[in-house]
A and B are shown apart, each in its own frame.
Chain A
Amino acid sequence: EDKVVQSPLSLVVHEGDTVTLNCSYEVTNFRSLLWYKQEKKAPTFLFMLTSSGIEKKSGRLSSILDKKELFSILNITATQTGDSAVYLCAVEPTIQGAQKLVFGQGTRLTINP
């Protein structure tokens, strides 16, 4: 069974801190790994990673994938209260055919002022 596990489940830090969120996966096939931010309802897309070792960056957020060790990390530097959200990791476990994402349980990040 395809599985995605995120850690920690919950994290509370102070504004300005740097955080690292982890995502490990076990899937029979692997096509891509995606990170989403879920603030109240809709998961909003952050990154899609398909190749090992290539960092994707958007402002203070960055992410990297290790296909050998089957994990990804999401880094957020100089955190702000607006970064408070649940961060979801999802894997696309299909090479061909329809996309169907397998999600982790999420990391709830709380940034205190």
Chain B
Amino acid sequence: EPEVTQTPSHQVTQMGQEVILRCVPISNHLYFYWYRQILGQKVEFLVSFYNNEISEKSEIFDDQFSVERPDGSNFTLKIRSTKLEDSAMYFCASSEGWHTEAFFGQGTRLTVV
């Protein structure tokens, strides 16, 4: 069964460092998303992406965040200068259509120390 894959599964980084989280969406999906879940809190929307550009972003997705589809398969989330409060599980998701069900990856646990 096709699935969204994310790497790495866990990343530890020092405050102020840049991190890139990687995702391979399901191959025939055209719409991509990043969500995050701080430990013990709700899953929160970060950004949606279609046709090589951001469609919508939340207030959380400020200038330190960026997304990119560098080739035909990968979708990345870059956090430029990490802060302690960026520690969370980051989920990539993809969907076939704009308003069809989104399928989530296993997540990358980011720990900023």
| A contact residues vs B (CB 8 Å cutoff) | 31-32, 34, 36, 41-45, 48, 88, 90, 92, 97-106
16 A-B pairs besides A43-B43, A103-B42 with CB distance below 8 A are A34-B101, A41-B106, A42-B91, A42-B105, A43-B91, A45-B104, A92-B99, A97-B55, A97-B56, A98-B56, A99-B48, A99-B99, A99-B102, A100-B33, A102-B45, A105-B42
Chain B residues within an 8 Å CB radius of A104: 42
Q: How far apart are the CA atoms of A31 and B31 in the complex, in Å? A: 17
B24 within 8 A of partner (CB): no
Interchain pairs with CB closer than 8 A, number: 59
Q: Which residues of B contact A90 (CB under 8 A)?
A: 43
Chain B residues within CB distance 8 Å of chain A? 4, 31, 33, 35, 41-45, 48, 50, 55-56, 58, 89, 91, 95, 98-107
Closest to A96 in B: B98
CB pair B58 A41 closer than 8 Å: no
Compute how far the CA of A97 lies from the CA of B50 in the bound complex, rounded to whole angstroms.
11
The list of the 5 closest CB pairs from A to B, nearest first, reads: A98-B55, A98-B56, A98-B48, A103-B43, A100-B45
Contact B103 A45 (CB under 8 A): yes
Q: Which residues of A contact B42 (CB under 8 A)?
A: 103-106
**In the bound complex, how far is the Cα of B42 from the Cα of A92, in angstroms?**
15
